[in-house]
Amino acid sequence: MSRSAAPSSTARSWRDIPQEIAPRAMSPVGRRRSTFRTVRTVATVVGVAAVAAGAFEVWRTWRDTPQLLATPVDSQPVRTISVQTDGVLDRSWVERVIELPEGVGLMELDLYALRARLMSSGQVASAVLTREFPDTLRVVLAERSPIVRLKAQLGGGEPREFLVARDGTVFIGEGYPTEMTESLPWLGGIRLVREGTGFLPLTGIDRVSDLLATALAHAPRQYATWRIISLNRLPTDGEIVVQSSEVGEIVFGTREDFYPQIARLDLILEQTAARPDQPLERVNLAVGPSQVPVSFANPRGLAAGEQSDARAQSLFTPFNRSAQKREL
């Protein structure tokens, strides 16, 4: 009696039986669809890249040489220049500085070059130029305000008067009323350094501006007598020296707020006003609030020896806290 053979231990399921099946061949229609999808993807990528490159070139041309775009655009000649400013410059000044050629088209303008011309004066702090179609150039200016003036000689020419703004910019002011510029104190103790067609900004002018603004707001009578502001001692001692028509030398310290110093000066002037025969020669407000060295000039009518003693005389005037809080 024959026994049936035992089943193989390596083929216990139909899944374990190797089956050789040939892959289904792609039909011609399927191959065309696959090729079309590939071509469409590549074309989309190339198209996006071409648009981006073209946009970049247009932007670069508009930025650097916008006049090249004037040919395909209907560019009208500039007929109107609209000027808006927060200062004293007017449209005639703008037209003289930018010097537009006769009949130039609006799209032919190089706005960056025109802006550079306006800014080169130093009086203009910022300038925004825009095209307003069909034929208007709009100019918006922000001007610097002068706080002091100075006189300098350039080369072998005659000394010229310049104005100085709070940020230290030195410029030749145009359009300001004469009475306004003549009311500004002179600036001394500085050195001008040429930079291109202008000068490097001066340092320390912001502290001078704070002093002048405080005096003008709280002691306008004192401010009106100030003639010269010297910065000789500012870099080394932190002091600003003022020469006025009432006091030969007033020393302000930059390590203390200017308001209490001006309050102490006002009290000193009030106390010494009753002695017109002994005018003040020097007041040092930079030493602090407790004591202020005060020197008197030579009184008139004294003998030579007496004048020498008077010049050497020095008065230390004490101040209490109520004087520091004095309302000007």
By the 8 A CB rule, do 187 and 148 touch?
yes
Are 132 and 213 found together in one domain? Answer: no
The confidence score (pLDDT) of residue 26 equals 64
Instruction: Give the CATH number for residue 103.
Output: 3.10.20.310
The confidence score (pLDDT) of residue 54 equals 80
Euclidean distance between CA atoms 275 and 277, whole angstroms: 5
The confidence score (pLDDT) of residue 275 equals 77
Are 289 and 214 found together in one domain? Answer: yes
113 within a domain of the structure (yes/no): yes
190 within a domain of the structure (yes/no): no
Are 220 and 320 found together in one domain? Answer: yes
Are 120 and 208 found together in one domain? Answer: no
Place of tokens 């095209």: 131
Are 128 and 213 found together in one domain? Answer: no
In b/e form, how buried is each residue of 63-95, taking b as 16+ CB within 10 angstroms?
A: eeebeeebeeeebeebeebebebebebeeebbe
Burial of 211 (0-12, 13-18, 19+ CB in 10 A): buried
Instruction: Indicate the residue among 143, 162, 195 that finishes a domain.
Output: 143
Euclidean distance between CA atoms 231 and 328, whole angstroms: 26
213 within a domain of the structure (yes/no): yes
Instruction: Indicate the residue among 143, 158, 174 that finishes a domain.
Output: 143
173 in helix, strand or coil? coil
- pLDDT, one tens digit for every residue, the chain (328 residues): 445 555 555 556 656 666 555 556 667 767 777 787 887 888 888 888 888 888 877 767 666 665 555 544 556 999 999 999 999 999 999 999 999 999 999 999 999 999 999 999 999 999 999 999 999 999 999 999 999 999 988 777 788 999 999 999 999 999 999 999 999 999 999 999 988 878 999 999 999 999 999 999 999 999 999 999 999 999 999 999 999 999 999 999 999 999 999 999 999 998 888 777 778 899 999 998 878 898 887 655 455 455 444 443 454 454 444 444 445 5
Are 314 and 212 found together in one domain? Answer: yes
Euclidean distance between CA atoms 253 and 261, whole angstroms: 8
124 within a domain of the structure (yes/no): yes
28 within a domain of the structure (yes/no): no
List, in sequence order, the alpha helices (H) in the chain: 28-64, 91-98, 111-119, 178-182, 205-218, 220-225, 234-237, 258-272, 304-312, 321-324
Are 217 and 297 found together in one domain? Answer: yes
pTM over 0.85: no
The confidence score (pLDDT) of residue 309 equals 46
How many separate domains does the chain show?
2
Domain span holding position 312: 204-324
